[in-house]
Amino acid sequence: MVPAVETTFDRSRRRRRFWNRTLQGAVPYGLIAPIVVVIAVILGYPLYWLVKLSTERYGLFELIRHSGTSIGLDNYRSVLRDSIFWHTLLRTVIFTAANVTLTMVIGTLLALLLVRVSTVVRILLSSGLVLVWSMPVVVAVQIWYWMTNYQNGVVNYALTKLGFGNFFQHDWYATTFSQLSLTTLLIVWGALPFVVITLYAGLAQVPRDLVEAAEVDGARGWRVFLDITLPILRPILLILTSLSIIWDFGVFTQPYLLIGQSKIVPGNYLMSVYLFEEGYFKSDYGRGAAISLLMLLMVAVLSVVYVRKMVRIGDAQ
Amino acid sequence: MKRRSIVALCLVAVLAAAITTAATLGATKKATASSITVWLQVDAQSGWPGVVAAANQQFQSDHPGTTVNVQYQNWGDHLQKFDATLAGGGGPDVIEMGNTEMTKYMAAGAFAALDKTTFDNSANWLKGLAASGAFGGKTYGVPYYAGSRVVTYRTDLFKKAGIKKLPATTAQYMADAKLLFAKNPKKGFSSVYIAGTDWYFAMSFVFDYGGGIATQVSGKWKGLLASPQSIAGLTAYKNFFLATSRGSKTTDESHPNAYDVYAQGLAASMIGPSWFNCCVGKAYTPTTAQFVMPGHVKGQAIPGFLGGSDLAVPVTSSNKALATDWIKDFTNTSSEKGLQAKGNIPNATNLLGTSINERAAARSWFVPTAKHWVDVENGNILRNMLAQILTNKLTIQQAASSASDNIASVLNQP
Amino acid sequence: MNGRKRGRFARQTGWNVLGLAIFVVMVFPVFWMLSTAFKSNEQIISLNPTWFPLHPTIQHFRDAIHRPFFWVDVKNSLIIVSVTVAISIVLAFLAAIALARYRFGGRKLFIVLVIGIQMLPQAGLIIPLYVVLARYHQTNALTGVIVTYMTFVLPFSVWTLRGFLLGIPKELEEAAMVDGSTRVGVFMKILLPLMGPGLVATSVFAFITTWNEYIFARVLLNDQSKQTVTVWLSYFSGSSRHTDWGALMAASSLTAIPVVIFFLLVQRRIAFGLTQGAVRG
């Protein structure tokens, strides 16, 4: 009830309430402030640099003198007119789709498997996944190459001995399809641990009482999964899918090292390799910046569906 | 209870950050007059640390109060690091560059000009190395050391095959290869293990017949691979490969490494740098020796690719005079003799000894000193040409013409 | 009753067998790395693969440890990684709470910023990042690397933790608030325990990503006494001469140890959380 005349006590209460509400409203800003500050301070200039350089002719000569010549959108024009760019884009989209699908499907199945095995096997399997995860990529590539090289790779040896045919000195790196398939296997193998362990952690959030209640109601395993587990896992699945798309689209080390510099040709370029070869290896930083920003645009388009869903889930709550 | 542990965790994190900040902020070393920074590849750290130490000692006795901070780099990414320092500062005062890496940076003005005459033995610098450090009439790189290619072979297998004298021509070598194959029928065995796309070896044939890769005619680059001499050389290479090697026609010289094939007992000889004899396996080390690869004319070695490194002073250095003095100390006669003792080729002809490595360097070839040569290498133009020739996908004439035009257009880019 | 129990036991044995089979296949390359570290040089390049070195040699491990600056670089890596992960997880968690539980202006913009940064190819950032850090004298300093790593770890941590938070039904918190507990109390008693697995998974990922990061550490750190263990590892294959594979595999095996220890320490949180949550799904 508002009194006819405001006393000093009422005014101070109103002030207190105003400050309380402001402080309350300021809480989320306070929570995100440190991150915004760090990112702005560290990445602010690099982002500006990328945008600025993409409109300039900027090679080694300009790098040393710290200044380039403005050429407007010529860098973009030259990239977009390059047929190699478009072929590479198509190849990378297919490559990304294959990688992400394999990773998410196998990852989900493995996470569900982790739930069902006994504790000993679970710790063994998850530790094994972490061991895989912890291998430096360069070392993993080298091991993969040893296992698959035509001269004395164990894969050829095992396949021949197990009777799958004669794989003596079979060169797994002879065709583009073979090269990229092996790269896919390597990447999926390395990506599974993160997906499996994160999904498993997500499964941990499914409240037991909900599951038991559903089972009391007579629901069977698959129904429980679809009706109870999946909705709760949905945000995490969306996150993992969107992250996988982003990472697999821009993956560089595995294809570059596994196929090997001497076998990299425009016919087996992936976007990040294209960026490296056409931009940074040639010290054409302007072109490299343009390609980087175009890649940013591409992957944003590819992942927009999942990102939007993620944002909307938050809104619905 | 949980709240306390969370607060404690946050405090620890912040404290750790503060401590590391305090500890490392003050310790950032800048190259001042009291110290210079030298970038050498890690080959020096493991191969000839004594030479580096001696040069540092010499430098420090001439410049008391100035310390030398040697930082070792990897071949794979030292240029990425260098580029970052060119843009942001904090770079070295002396940098080791591969001889094929020099031209691009010299053309961009990355290095300070040096007075050639103030360095030891500069009048006798090996031609291939000296060319890699010169641009527009000025000297920007000082030859550091070189390496050539030799034949490493199994003395026992050669003896068993009845080869009494080492081959003096490529024709003789091909005949000897037949004898080696006869005595070693193992699957995958090569009399001479050569990787199909080993362009360093293949181009030796091209130069042996008087051909070339590219040459500059009034400022424009012209491809030479389609000239009759080059074609003759490529034909000779193809014949030599088919007669002596069972290595893959499409793979490069590090997949697999030749010395691994040799150590597995699948090669009677191999072509490569002289240090290949380090890794031939315990079983074959006592019966391994080296000889100079012959050319097609008797008495003449085949021209070998002269690999090597130069030392340069980046234009961003604030201690150019001190940097130059350090290079003088590191490339003077006694240092070069030290490098020679470790199996390298010294940088001047008057210092050359009689090791196989050095004898092979008597006839050498080098890549065109063009700003965009690295693009030709990265684009695998020569490798693809060789693969096409060996697999008969294209005739030698077709493959060479297309590669030649390709190379010319890449080199002629602005 | 007995029949049902036997059925369940048989089923779990089936799953266990499958789990073990998958373990063998997944871990084989790691096993290959470890066994190579114990093989002699002859066995490593031999045409007939040596599946299990019957006469293991520890020479490679000795060679690896005696390379200069090993222990110093391990220490540097541990400092960089633990500080980065500790600060990043805390900051990311706070930001994730803001995103998942509050409505505020600029929320969508922040989300776009967070996800957008991950879409940038890192190759393009090397030189400008170096220029920025050089201006603040943060090159050749552990703090420069820490701050750089934070900018890479924060986005996906925020993104992932937000997802985990969204999986926790708001009703739980609201019920607790109705029961009279404060906002902070809700945070402690409800959110934190349920977020345990999510925090652990995210911090393991942050740990591994920063532990294995190479190119930024290479470009930013000059003195060998300040470098990380991944840079130390790169010297094995950095020269123009042959690579000592046995030593490299031994060295890699050693660098994997802290990661595995970290995981074994925290994995109990995930398993523990699971028994609180659903067991069958």
Highest mean pLDDT, choosing among A14-23, A65-74, A216-225:
A65-74
**pLDDT > 80? residue B234:** yes
CB contact under 8 A, C134 and B89: yes
The answer to the question of residue A146 being in a domain is yes
* Mean pLDDT of all residues in B186-212: 95
CB contact under 8 A, B86 and A61: no
- For chain C, how many structural domains are there in total? 2
Q: pLDDT > 90: what percent of chain B? A: 80
The answer to the question of residue C63 being in a domain is no
pLDDT at C104: 84
- For chain A, how many structural domains are there in total? 2
B·C CB contacts under 8 A: 135
CB contact under 8 A, C131 and B88: yes
Q: pLDDT > 90: what percent of chain A? A: 51
Q: Are residues B64 and B143 in the same domain?
A: yes
Q: Are residues B403 and B376 in the same domain?
A: yes
> pLDDT category, B401, cuts 50, 70, 90?
very high
Q: Is A277 on the interface with B (CB under 8 A)?
A: yes
CB contact under 8 A, A130 and C263: yes
Q: Are residues C210 and C238 in the same domain?
A: yes
Q: Neighbours of B (≥3 Cβ pairs closer than 8 A)?
A: A, C
CB contact under 8 A, A171 and B256: no
Q: Is B18 on the interface with C (CB under 8 A)?
A: no
Pick the residue with more confidence: B31 or B121? Answer: B121
Residue B49 sits in which domain range? 35-147+307-365
Q: CA-based Rg of chain B, rounded to a whole angstrom? A: 25
Q: Is B83 on the interface with C (CB under 8 A)?
A: yes
The answer to the question of residue A90 being in a domain is yes
* Mean pLDDT of all residues in A266-289: 92
Q: For residue B218, with 0-12 CB atoms within 10 Å meaning exposed, 13-18 middle and 19 or more buried, which class applies? A: exposed
CB B393 within 8 A of CB B197: no
Tens of pLDDT along A223-235? 777 777 888 788 8
Instruction: Give residue A165's identity as a one-letter amino acid code.
Output: G
Q: Are residues B196 and B55 in the same domain?
A: no
Chain C contact set for A111 (CB, 8 A):
none
Query: Which of A205-209, A252-256, B225-229 shows the lowest per-residue confidence on average (mean pLDDT)?
Result: A205-209
pLDDT at B216: 92
**pLDDT > 70? residue A157:** yes
CB A204 within 8 A of CB C270: yes
- Which residues touch B110 (CB under 8 Å, ≥6 apart)? A60, A64, B86, B312, B314, B315
Mean per-residue pLDDT of chain A: 88
pLDDT at B391: 94
CATH of the domain at C165: 1.10.3720.10
Chain B contact set for C94 (CB, 8 A):
none
Per-residue DSSP letters for A90-128? HHHHHHHHHHHHHHHHHHHHHHHHHHHS-HHHHHHHHHH
Q: Is A174 on the interface with B (CB under 8 A)?
A: yes
Q: Are residues A87 and A124 in the same domain?
A: yes
pLDDT at B24: 45
Q: Are residues A161 and A19 in the same domain?
A: no
* Mean pLDDT of all residues in B19-45: 68
**Which two three-digit tokens encode residue B30?**
């800048």
pLDDT at B3: 46
User: What 3-state class would DSSP assign to B3?
Assistant: helix
The answer to the question of residue C64 being in a domain is no
The answer to the question of residue B2 being in a domain is no
Pick the residue with more confidence: C170 or A34? Answer: A34
Pairing of strands B364-365, B304-305: parallel
- A66 to each of A49, A95, B83, C200, how far by Cα in Å? 11, 38, 12, 44
Distance CA A205, CA C274 (A): 7
CATH of the domain at A91: 1.10.3720.10
Q: Are residues A23 and A102 in the same domain?
A: no
Q: Are residues B82 and B224 in the same domain?
A: no
- Which residues touch A37 (CB under 8 Å, ≥6 apart)? none
**Which residue among B348, B365, B382 closes a domain?**
B365
Q: Is B85 on the interface with C (CB under 8 A)?
A: yes
For residue C44, give the nearest of A138, B272, A169, A143 by alpha carbon.
A143
pLDDT at C100: 84
CB contact under 8 A, B46 and C239: yes
**pLDDT > 70? residue C259:** yes
**Which residue among C15, C36, C57 closes a domain?**
C57
**pLDDT > 70? residue C269:** no
The answer to the question of residue B18 being in a domain is no
Q: Are residues B232 and B381 in the same domain?
A: yes
Beta bridge partners of B267: B190
The answer to the question of residue B16 being in a domain is no
Enumerate chain B positions whose Cβ falls within 8 A of a Cβ in A.
Answer: 80, 83, 86-87, 104-105, 107-110, 188, 197, 248, 250-252, 255-256, 261, 264, 315-316, 374-375, 378, 380, 383-384
CB contact under 8 A, C160 and A136: no
Q: Are residues B209 and B283 in the same domain?
A: yes
- Candidates A31, A45, A64: best to mutate against B (most CBs of B within 10 A) is A64
The answer to the question of residue C281 being in a domain is no
> pLDDT category, A219, cuts 50, 70, 90?
low
- Which residues touch C155 (CB under 8 Å, ≥6 apart)? C114, C115, C117, C118
* Mean pLDDT of all residues in B359-370: 89
State which H helix or E strand residue B141 sits in: strand B141-147
CB contact under 8 A, B255 and A260: yes
Distance CA B101, CA B79 (A): 9
Q: Are residues B140 and B168 in the same domain?
A: no
> pLDDT category, B17, cuts 50, 70, 90?
low
**pLDDT > 80? residue B256:** yes
Q: Is C134 on the interface with B (CB under 8 A)?
A: yes
Residue A195 sits in which domain range? 82-316
Chain C contact set for B87 (CB, 8 A):
127-128, 130-131
Tens of pLDDT along C203-248? 999 999 999 999 999 999 999 999 999 999 999 988 888 888 999 9
- Chain A closest-CA separation from residue B373 CA (Å): 10
Q: Neighbours of C (≥3 Cβ pairs closer than 8 A)?
A: A, B
The answer to the question of residue B10 being in a domain is no
> pLDDT category, A316, cuts 50, 70, 90?
low
The answer to the question of residue C103 being in a domain is yes
Pick the residue with more confidence: A2 or B208? Answer: B208
Q: Are residues A191 and A259 in the same domain?
A: yes
Distance CA C134, CA B387 (A): 46
Q: Are residues B197 and B298 in the same domain?
A: yes
> pLDDT category, A16, cuts 50, 70, 90?
confident
Q: Choose among C47, C137, C143: nearest Cβ to B20.
A: C143
Q: Are residues A285 and A156 in the same domain?
A: yes
Q: Are residues A146 and A23 in the same domain?
A: no
pLDDT at A3: 56
* Mean pLDDT of all residues in B348-354: 91
- Chain C closest-CA separation from residue B73 CA (Å): 7
> pLDDT category, B106, cuts 50, 70, 90?
very high
CB contact under 8 A, B380 and A262: yes
Q: Choose among A110, A118, A285: nearest Cβ to C16.
A: A118
Q: Cβ of C195: how many Cβ atoms within 10 Å?
A: 23
Beta bridge partners of B273: B149
Residue C150 sits in which domain range? 69-276
Q: pLDDT > 90: what percent of chain C? A: 51
The answer to the question of residue B3 being in a domain is no
Q: Is C141 on the interface with B (CB under 8 A)?
A: yes
> pLDDT category, C277, cuts 50, 70, 90?
very low
Nearest residue of chain C to residue B7 (CA atoms):
C90
The answer to the question of residue B393 being in a domain is yes
CATH of the domain at B255: 3.40.190.10
**pLDDT > 70? residue B30:** no
* Mean pLDDT of all residues in B339-347: 94
The answer to the question of residue C145 being in a domain is yes
What angle, 0 to 180 degrees and rounded to 10, lies between the N-to-C axes of helices A8-53 and A285-316?
150
**pLDDT > 70? residue A79:** yes
Q: Are residues B323 and B294 in the same domain?
A: no
**pLDDT > 50? residue B21:** no
Q: CA-based Rg of chain C, rounded to a whole angstrom? A: 24
Distance CA C49, CA A153 (A): 8
- C241 to each of B41, B42, B46, B51, B74, how far by Cα in Å? 11, 10, 10, 18, 11
CB contact under 8 A, A150 and B248: yes
Nearest residue of chain B to residue A170 (CA atoms):
B248
Query: Which of A57-71, C2-16, C44-58 shows the lowest per-residue confidence on average (mean pLDDT)?
Result: C2-16
Q: Choose among B80, B104, B256: nearest Cβ to A149.
A: B256
pLDDT at B22: 41
Q: Are residues A110 and A197 in the same domain?
A: yes
Q: For residue A218, with 0-12 CB atoms within 10 Å meaning exposed, 13-18 middle and 19 or more buried, which class applies? A: exposed
Q: Are residues C128 and C217 in the same domain?
A: yes
The answer to the question of residue C169 being in a domain is yes
The answer to the question of residue A15 being in a domain is yes
CB contact under 8 A, C256 and A131: yes
Q: Is A175 on the interface with B (CB under 8 A)?
A: no
Q: Choose among A36, A233, A243: nearest Cβ to C156.
A: A243
CB contact under 8 A, B380 and A60: no
Q: Are residues C75 and C17 in the same domain?
A: no
DSSP label at residue B122: G
Q: Are residues B140 and B231 in the same domain?
A: no
Query: Which of A10-24, B10-24, B313-327, B339-353 shows the lowest per-residue confidence on average (mean pLDDT)?
Result: B10-24
Nearest residue of chain B to residue A169 (CA atoms):
B188
The answer to the question of residue B207 being in a domain is yes
The answer to the question of residue B4 being in a domain is no
Q: Neighbours of A (≥3 Cβ pairs closer than 8 A)?
A: B, C
**pLDDT > 70? residue B328:** yes
* Mean pLDDT of all residues in A208-233: 75
- Chain B closest-CA separation from residue A260 CA (Å): 9
Chain B contact set for A151 (CB, 8 A):
256, 261
Q: Are residues C109 and C214 in the same domain?
A: yes
- Which residues touch B377 (CB under 8 Å, ≥6 apart)? B100, B367
Q: Are residues B167 and B289 in the same domain?
A: yes
Terminal-to-terminal C-alpha distance of chain B: 69
Query: Which of A284-298, B284-298, C250-264 shows the lowest per-residue confidence on average (mean pLDDT)?
Result: C250-264
CB contact under 8 A, B282 and C134: no
**pLDDT > 60? residue C1:** no
Q: Are residues B300 and B349 in the same domain?
A: no
pLDDT at A317: 56
CB A172 within 8 A of CB A263: no
**pLDDT > 70? residue C280:** no
- For chain B, how many structural domains are there in total? 2
